[in-house]
Amino acid sequence: MKTVSLTLNINGADVTTAVEPRETLADVLRERLTMTATHVGCEHGACGACSVEVDGKIVRSCLMLGFMAEGRGVVTLEGLSDDPVIAVLRRTFHEKHAVQCGFCTPGMLMMARDLLKNRHVTSERDVRDGMAGQICRCTGYAGIVRAILAAAEELRRTSAGAPASA
């Protein structure tokens, strides 16, 4: 199949690669750029395992064609290794037993980070509503909810992850 040149900013670095027009952003990230924290689960946008940030908004990378990201800023979990909100979330996910098989975890962390950075999270309902599009088949969500609430409380105390609108 014919390929086209694609240039995008991945985790702060400009990258150019050849892609087939039919490839999704998830395929480009995983197969072309070896960003394997972006998991592909359902390939229909229902599970959230492929969640990444594009120009500051969370998107399902399995629903976005790679060429649609031309010139845009894409952040994957790999690009957040020094992010203070992700650091707190990783620790609270461990402490609150929010991880079982781990397949959904990268998408959960991306969405939880977005939730904590952009909304005022104070209750279980806030977390469950904000994470409604993320599917986990193993944990039953209780540990995930506890982890995000613990992270929200810690971030409020330290103001490292204060929502922009709060």
Per residue in 104-153, pLDDT tens? 899 999 999 999 999 999 999 999 999 998 988 887 889 999 999 999 99
DSSP per-residue letters across 23-47: -BHHHIIIIIT--TTS--SSSSSSS
Specify if 38 maps to a domain: yes
164 inside domain:
no
Count structural domains, the chain: 2
Which of 70-74, 113-117, 160-164 bottoms out in mean pLDDT, i.e. has the lowest?
A: 160-164
Structure tokens, 118: 């952009």
Is the domain of 75 the same as that of 120? no
At 22, which CATH number?
A: 3.10.20.30
Same structural domain, 24 and 63: yes
Q: Which of 31, 55, 79 is the last residue of a domain?
A: 79
- 165 vs 38, which has greater pLDDT? 38
| Angle, CA of 119, 9 and 62, to the nearest 5° | 65
Give the containing element (helix H, strand E) for 144.
helix 142-158
- For 152, residues 6+ apart whose C-beta sits below 8 A from its C-beta are 116, 121, 122, 127, 161
Task: Look at residue 163 and tell me whether its pLDDT is greater than 90.
Answer: no
Domain span at 151: 82-158
For the chain, what is the radius of gyration of the CA atoms? 16
Pair of tokens at residue 142? 């209780």
* Separation of alpha carbons 64 and 26, rounded Å: 8
Are 74 and 95 members of one domain?
no
* Pairing outcome for strands 57-60 and 73-75: unpaired
Residue 47 lies in a domain: yes
pLDDT digits (tens, 9 = 90+) for 11-59: 999 999 999 999 999 999 999 999 999 999 888 888 989 999 999 999 9
In a domain, 163, yes or no: no
Q: Residue 110's closest CA among 134, 94, 127, 92? A: 134
* CATH number of domain containing 97: 1.10.150.120
Does the pTM exceed 0.95? Answer: no
